[in-house]
Structure formats: structure tokens, C-alpha cells
């Protein structure tokens, strides 16, 4: 099997979406995922590692029923992608403001229980990460080259700011979640996940 055949999507799809294009900053947390620095100063993430981590994350999520998973994304660029993901999988999604205490305060009317959380960026989604940490829920986070990974249990290295990158990532996760859970596969169109 060639490297190309092992990937979840053809390498061209990843390249077209810019999933591997990082920022001009890097943290020590993300060092091991960085392939190189470009002439313009942007760091480039390793595509093979991105694909491997998406694959592992899909397996992690597939161990849980939709109602046991929570997706949090304060970053506006991801709202279309996470909402499409929620619609395709039945997983609860908070696009925009995360309601404080919904995981930690059973007295709240909107209290929910979760067994795993995915956030699109650990910094804007830090309140959700903090709540997950308090109750011992593992956190999967999409991390760009400039992210810290404190309190994150599993990092998916990627461009977590670009609409195309986020759309592709959530489209892959939705398809893999359906397949691995043995759910009837829907014909998921990438256009439904990506904002133009």
C-alpha cells in the first residue's frame, strides 16, 4: 500500500483545504507536529501526522454514543462545519457561546453529562476545557502551530482557523464516525461543511 492509499482522503484534498498551513508562531507543544518553516515565516504541519491524529480521534469518538459527546467551538469560522457535523452525527454542538457550568452544575436547567469533548481551539474554548477538566472528561482539541496544549488529552494538529480546513476536518470526522459506529452512511457533501 502506498502512503497515498493509507490516508483518510487524498493528499490533494488536504493540500487544497490548507489543513497543514500553520501560523508564524510555534509552541513547544506543537513542535513535534511541524514539518518545516516556509520562506514567508509560516510553519507547515506534517500531513501524515494530521491524518494519523484525525484517524485516532475518529476511533476515540466512535467509542461513544452521540449523546455522550460534546463539540464546542467559539470560533465563528467553524460554525457551519460543526453544525453540519452535529446534524450528520446527532452529536451535541455548541457553536458560539458555551453555556458556563452546563457540565459541572447539576442544578442548572440545561445541565448535561458528557464522556468526551472536542474543541476547535483550546484558547477561545478554554471555559469548556476547564469544565471538562473539573469533571474528568477527556478533551480532544484541534491545535494550530501556535496553540498551547495544557489540559488537552489528545491533540489534532491542523489549521484550526481556516473555513476550508475546518470544513474538511469535520466532514472526515462525520463520515468516519458514521462508518465506525455502523450507522447508516449518509451521502455527506463537503460543501455542507465548508463556507465559501
Q: Strand runs (DSSP E) across 32-161, as ranges?
A: 34-37, 43-45, 69-73, 92-95, 116-119, 139-143, 154-157
Percent of the chain at pLDDT above 70?
A: 97
Query: pLDDT grade, residue 5 (50/70/90)?
Result: low
Does residue 2 carry a pLDDT above 60? no
Q: How high is the pLDDT of residue 1?
A: 42
Total residues found in the chain within this entry: 196
Buried-exposed string 10-28: b where 16+ CB fall within 10 A, e elsewhere = eeebbeebbbbbbbeebee
Mean pLDDT of the chain: 94
Domains of the chain with bracketed CATH: 8-182 (3.40.50.10490)
Q: Strand runs (DSSP E) across the chain, as ranges?
A: 34-37, 43-45, 69-73, 92-95, 116-119, 139-143, 154-157
Given a contact cutoff of 8 angstroms between Cβ atoms, the answer to whether 112 and 92 are in contact is: yes
Q: pLDDT (tens digit, 9 = 90+) per residue, 75-101?
A: 999 999 999 999 999 999 999 999 989
Question: 0.85 cut: is pTM over it?
Answer: yes
Q: How high is the pLDDT of residue 100?
A: 87
Which of 136, 73, 74, 79 has the alpha carbon at shortest distance from 103? Answer: 136
Amino acid at each position: 500500500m502506498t502512503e497515498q492509499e493509507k490516508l483518510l482522503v487524498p493528499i490533494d484534498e488536504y493540500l487544497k483545504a490548507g489543513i497543514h498551513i500553520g501560523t508564524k508562531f510555534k509552541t513547544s507543544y506543537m513542535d513535534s507536529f511541524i514539518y518545516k518553516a516556509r520562506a514567508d515565516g509560516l510553519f507547515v504541519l506534517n500531513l501524515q501526522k494530521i491524518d494519523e491524529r484525525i484517524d485516532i480521534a475518529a476511533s476515540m469518538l466512535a467509542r461513544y454514543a452521540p449523546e455522550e459527546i460534546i463539540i464546542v467551538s467559539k470560533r465563528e469560522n467553524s460554525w457551519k462545519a460543526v453544525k453540519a457535523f452535529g446534524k450528520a452525527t446527532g452529536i451535541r454542538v455548541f457553536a458560539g457561546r458555551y453555556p458556563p457550568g452546563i457540565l459541572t452544575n447539576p442544578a442548572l436547567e440545561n445541565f448535561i453529562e458528557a464522556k468526551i469533548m472536542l474543541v476547535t481551539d483550546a484558547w477561545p474554548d478554554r471555559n469548556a476545557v476547564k469544565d471538562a477538566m473539573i469533571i474528568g472528561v477527556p478533551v480532544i482539541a484541534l491545535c494550530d502551530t501556535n496553540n498551547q496544549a495544557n489540559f488537552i488529552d489528545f491533540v489534532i494538529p491542523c489549521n484550526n482557523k481556516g473555513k476550508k480546513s475546518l470544513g474538511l476536518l469535520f466532514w472526515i470526522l462525520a463520515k468516519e464516525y458514521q462508518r465506525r459506529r455502523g450507522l447508516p452512511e449518509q451521502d455527506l457533501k463537503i460543501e455542507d461543511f465548508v463556507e465559501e
